[in-house]
Amino acid sequence: MINRKTVSILVLALFAAMLLAAPVCSAASQDLDKPTRMLLKVDVVDTNMFWSYPYISRDGKARVPAAIQVVWSTTSGLDSKTETMAVAKSDRGQVAITTEKDAFVDIEVQVVDAKKTILGKASLQVRNTGKDVAFVVNVPDITSPVIELQ
């Protein structure tokens, strides 16, 4: 049978271990809340062709790109921010995003014309670990007529 003295020593040792571990746990939780910078990069392939290529929008009008922008948020579209990554004739661009470490970031890269009509877009969700995220934008491999059976 364990006596009171042994139980008291074990309780004190456990209490001391908890006090010693508290700063380590606190530092770990502070590290998760630490702001982390993620760099979104975009490269435009065949720059001259891309920026002069006439894209047909849903309204049937031919439009040329004027910018590549990114729309991002950490709350599934709520409080989203829009920033320009690249403008006409540039071959690359970038935008820095700062969030909590390991926050999920919803990203939508958009090619827009001068009136902000979206000509093309791609979406993804990434975890902000501080690493760069890179995109490549290019003209389509082929454009061809749509043939449908009546």
108-130 pLDDT, tens per residue? Answer: 999 999 999 999 999 999 999 99
**What is the separation, in whole angstroms, between the first and last Cα of the chain?**
91
So what's the pLDDT on residue 16? 73
| Distance (Å) of CA 120 to CA 56, 112, 140, 147 | 10, 7, 11, 22
Q: Which tokens in the block code for residue 74?
A: 């950490």
The pTM (predicted TM-score) of the whole model is: 0.74
**74, pLDDT greater than 60:** yes
Percentage of the residues of the chain whose pLDDT score is greater than 90: 65
Q: pLDDT for 17-55, tens place per residue?
A: 777 766 655 555 555 578 999 999 999 999 999 999 999
pLDDT top residue among 25 and 88: 88
Distance between CA 110 and CA 79 in Å, rounded?
A: 18
Which amino acid would we find at residue 107? Answer: I
CB 45 within 8 A of CB 136: yes
Tokens 């008291």, located at residue? 8
CB 54 within 8 A of CB 66: no
Q: What is the DSSP code (8-state) at residue 3?
A: -
**144, pLDDT greater than 90:** no
